[in-house]
Amino acid sequence: MQPVNVGIVGCGNISEAYLKVSKTFPILNVVGCADIIPERARAKAEAHGIRAMSVEELLADPEIEIVLNLTIPAAHGQIGLAALEAGKSVYNEKPLATRREDARRMLRLAEEKGLLVGCAPDTFLGAGLQTCRKVIDDGAIGEPVAATALWAGHGHERWHPDPGFFYKPGAGPMFDMGPYYVTALVTLIGPVARVSGSARITFPERTIASQPKAGQKIKVETPTHITGTLEFANGAIATVLTSFDIWAHTLPGIEIHGTTGSLRAPDPNTFGGRISVRAAGGQEWTDVPFTHGYAEQSRSIGLADMSYALRAGRRPRASGRLAYHVLDIMQGFLDAASERRHITLSSQVERPAPLPTGLAPGMLDE
């Protein structure tokens, strides 16, 4: 199958993982990169043997078929729309956009032009969550009825080199870490029908402890502790928590409870991790071996899957429609908190097809 030419916009922290891992997928051919800071693009280009370009040059390049959009969240909608207008499919880092309107415009434009939209996170395609999907689909815990998805820490200003954007609207712990947890729940259980939520800003100002901006102050402009309740279309109910306000905890991550047993899922911000099942009436948790590959760092697997979809004419698994449903859920939590009511979602999505078992390394289609 002919490789798909990819151009990267945004050469920040996450770009290194994409650039390294993309080389393990024969379907991907990264040809160039661009950044609002040209020096960053030149450094990445030199390190990885690709072309440094301006954003305008990259969007105009007829060889580039997919734009990998690794800009900050506030620019996801703008760059995604520009790529589609230029006739290119786009794969965004999460979230798909910071506003529902921009995300909907991307999906409409892609449909009009016959292009594809994809979006991180793609960790649900790793060995850990694909194995969990098989456990559930095989009926090992019966019908899912309840779940918890919990992530907490004390913010990114202690380690990130430029953490200010994490505290702007469209970011915060829900839009930063929530996509991993909400995407995992949707792909494992199904679409969500209704949400409710509560949210607060605990510390109105943060002090950066990391270099090169140590000592600078950040004004917090988005909630930093959010809890939400999800009511799934199939009747299951889940609780989600994300927080930048918690110093230490023993929260369990993701657990899914069914009519005949319970499942402990791995950290959805990883591709592997430990999986355990405890049957109804059982006395112990039993570890489950991986049924799928990609347990190691596999960031780019969603981009690779979308490239296969582009060549084969099928739906991508880490699709824009999945990402829009996740965005709708996360924004629904904040809307419910501010409006003090339940939010019925207008978006719906089918669970993406599971990956086949027994795939050769670097391959995603049989």
What tokens appear for 202 in the block?
């605990």
Alpha-carbon gap, residue 182 to 325, rounded angstroms: 10
Q: What is the pLDDT of residues 194-227, one digit of tens each?
A: 999 999 999 999 999 999 999 999 999 999 999 9
Q: Is residue 91 packed enough to be buried (19+ CB in 10 Å), middle (13-18) or exposed (0-12)?
A: buried
Alpha-carbon gap, residue 231 to 192, rounded angstroms: 6
- What is the torsional sign of CA 364, 297, 302, 332? positive
Q: Which of 52, 87, 71 is nearest to 13 (CA)?
A: 71
What is the full DSSP assignment across 327-339? HHHHHHHHHHHHH
Q: pLDDT tens, position by position, for the chain (366 residues)? A: 899 999 999 999 899 999 999 999 999 999 999 999 999 999 999 999 999 999 999 999 999 999 999 999 999 999 999 999 999 999 999 999 999 999 999 999 999 999 999 999 999 999 999 999 999 999 999 999 999 999 999 999 999 999 999 999 989 999 999 999 999 999 999 999 999 999 999 999 999 999 999 999 999 999 999 999 999 999 999 999 999 999 999 999 999 999 999 999 999 999 999 999 999 999 999 999 999 999 999 999 999 999 999 999 999 999 999 999 999 999 999 999 999 999 999 999 999 999 999 999 999 987
**pLDDT of res. 366:** 77
Q: pTM of the full predicted structure?
A: 0.96
CATH code of the domain occupying 124-287? 3.30.360.10
Alpha-carbon gap, residue 105 to 94, rounded angstroms: 16
Looking at domain 4-119, which of 3.20.20.10, 3.30.930.10, 3.40.50.1980, 3.40.50.720 is its CATH number?
3.40.50.720
Alpha-carbon gap, residue 128 to 279, rounded angstroms: 19
Alpha-carbon gap, residue 121 to 299, rounded angstroms: 8
List the chain domain ranges.
4-119, 124-287
Q: What is the pLDDT of residues 31-55, one digit of tens each?
A: 999 999 999 999 999 999 999 999 9
Residues 6+ apart with CB under 8 A from 299: 14, 17, 18, 21, 120, 122
